Structure 1
Amino acid sequence: MIKKRLISSNLFLRIRREVTTCALPIDTLDMAVSVPSGNHKNLCHSLADQLIQRGLFSSAQLVIQRMISHSMSVADAISVANSVVGRGLDLDLDSYAVLIRKLVTLGEPQLAESLYLIEIESQGNKADPLILNSMVICSCELGKVEDAMNYFNRLLSFNYVPQKEACLSILQQCCAQERYLDAFDLFLRAHYAKAELSFGCYNLLMDGLCHKGHLDEALRVFDLLLNHKHLPTVHIYRSLFYGLCKGNRVVEAELLIGEMESRGVYVDKAMYTSLVRVYCRDRRMKMAQQVFFRMLKIGYQPDRYICNILIDGFMKLSLYDKGWVIHNKNMIYSKVTPHVHCYIVLFYECL
């Protein structure tokens, strides 16, 4: 049982100073006064008081937890806990867990951390899953990523399942610091622990891993997304596609476009153009031409940019005839105004 320290602790005094503008004082032991007026709250206080008097402490704790969880402000939550302690009932670990979570939810992570350190950590009490999940979120909001990872690792070491909110918070913080491989490791461990991972977790990781060129890890996240029967968004497909193009993994990039087409996902003209550019850069003009024809078949009109890319690619391989075909058939016929760079390439390479 946790000792009655809340009223006398520095944490409580600090909270009391911060809410002195409240119309009703929170340091009084009179339950009817310590909580803002309202029939429901008064009834809850009365019920808790009766349960305490009858020695039904577990039931009283449940009532207290419900009152804390429904508190509308920090002052209300602390008032409930303080008034009950004043009645002679020690708050149990579950009640502290609810209070800590409420403080985090109400935007007071510093107070939540102080409460945890004073009432849980310093007392040698073993934190339960609810407390550890709340402390992950709390530490993330305070920008203490290492502490958050500590709490997260403790969750996993005790075989607890991390909550969806805790997973998202820690991944957001890791990605904000560009620690994408750390985020990937935490993501996998949460996945294997059967945590419920929100779609935001997949989005974050896909963006960060692809941006930094960690393509094998990004593909692993993508596969897990498909295995969970989530339909990837166009944004996720694009992140992976451009990452593959940037990493010169053009065959995989083209396969991804094929998958998008088979799923009816919109493939824009810029993606086809990027694929053509990478093939031309690798001097694989047959593949570049095939992608170009596929783009035309879908209904996209050639523009000056993609024509210049193809002409430049053909000319560098001394395939002058094919370069002029692109110019004559796809630019002049389609009324695409050639850029001066196009003529420079055409005439210079032919010399």
Structure 2
Amino acid sequence: MIKRRPFHHSIYFKSKKRPITSTCAVPLDPQPTSNDHTSLFQSRVHDLLRRGLLSSAQQAIQRFIASSPTVPDAVFAIEFAAASGVDLGLGISCEILRKLVDLGEPLSAHDFYHDHLIARGIEPDSNIVNSMVICLAKLGKLDDAVKLFDRRIGSEDCVLSNAACTMILEGFYEQDKFLEAFDYFVRISDANVKLGMWIYNVLINGLCHQGYVGEAHAEN
């Protein structure tokens, strides 16, 4: 029986790793919960796995995570996937990262990233990079966020989010590194990412305050 467990930073899915399978090797018999949506999710995934539709089951798990209102709900989906013998896959991994960051668990997202993506040699795509840039910035690891950001910006398949770009610039602002922020602002603009006017105003004021009038004038 799959049970919900209290969420904490050490949940980590470290002990939940299972062999990758293309079908459900051991039929599940999940017990209905009081939540109709969760019960429907369990039944749907169970049915898809019995029919050998692994990709569809992964998509159902990903959708459940995306709609989860709390971290424990999202974690439940991961535990359910592990108990089902379902490989998380890139799509599910991206979604759990985004959800952990969005719901205020950047440390959990950071550990998940290293334990389940980097450890498996998975190259971060734009979705992962966007989530991890936000995550690292929230953890005060601006240098690491910038390194990850630099690996993607300017690449042909780069799709940077407004939120990730904003977090990079905010990180520089907090450290009074307005000249560095100016350089990234230009690169972000060249990547056709549109930022809020307040980001622009703070940058101009910061550059002027530190004596970089020429750079500030160039942005006007």
Give the TM-score range, shorter chain.
0.7 to 0.9
Q: Is the 8 A contact 1:205 1:221 kept in 2?
A: no
CA distance in 1, matches of 2:59, 2:198: 33
> In the alignment, which residue of structure 2 is the partner of 1:49?
46
Give, in angstroms, the shift of residue 41 of structure 1.
2.4
The one-letter amino acid paired with 1:39 is D
1:139 to 136, 141, 144: 136
How many residues align? The count is 198
The one-letter amino acid paired with 1:187 is F
CA distance in 1, matches of 2:30, 2:110: 26
1:98 to 61, 81, 95: 95
Runs of 5+ unmatched residues, structure 1: 1-10, 17-28, 223-351
The one-letter amino acid paired with 2:210 is K
CA distance in 1, matches of 2:56, 2:136: 31
1:60 to 57, 61, 67: 57
Q: Aligned pair in 2 of structure 1 residues 165, 56: CA closer, same or farther (>3 Å)? A: same
Deviations 1:303-341 (A, max 9, x none): xxxxxxxxxxxxxxxxxxxxxxxxxxxxxxxxxxxxxxx
Q: The residue matched to 1:61 in structure 2 has which SS?
A: helix
Whether 1:14 aligns to 2:14 is no
The one-letter amino acid paired with 1:209 is L
Q: Aligned pair in 2 of structure 1 residues 178, 32: CA closer, same or farther (>3 Å)? A: farther
Q: Aligned pair in 2 of structure 1 residues 105, 126: CA closer, same or farther (>3 Å)? A: same
Give, in angstroms, the shift of residue 70 of structure 1.
1.6
> In the alignment, which residue of structure 1 is the partner of 2:3?
none
Question: Computing the radius of gyration over CA atoms, which structure comes out larger, 1 or 2?
Answer: 1
Deviations 1:273-327 (A, max 9, x none): xxxxxxxxxxxxxxxxxxxxxxxxxxxxxxxxxxxxxxxxxxxxxxxxxxxxxxx
> In the alignment, which residue of structure 2 is the partner of 1:75?
72
Q: TM-score, normalised by structure 1?
A: 0.53
The one-letter amino acid paired with 2:106 is P
Q: TM-score, normalised by structure 2?
A: 0.83
Paired residues for 1:61-210 under 5 Å: 61-159=58-156, 160-210=158-208
Q: Aligned pair in 2 of structure 1 residues 189, 47: CA closer, same or farther (>3 Å)? A: same
Deviations 1:41-84 (A, max 9, x none): 22122212222222222222221111111212221111111111
Q: Is the 8 A contact 1:133 1:151 kept in 2?
A: no
CA distance in 1, matches of 2:110, 2:192: 27
Cα-Cα RMSD: 2.1
Runs of 5+ unmatched residues, structure 2: 1-6, 13-27
Give, in angstroms, the shift of residue 157 of structure 1.
4.8
Q: The residue matched to 1:132 in structure 2 has which SS?
A: helix
The one-letter amino acid paired with 2:183 is D
Q: The residue matched to 1:15 in structure 2 has which SS?
A: coil
Q: The residue matched to 1:88 in structure 2 has which SS?
A: coil
CA distance in 2, matches of 1:55, 1:100: 27
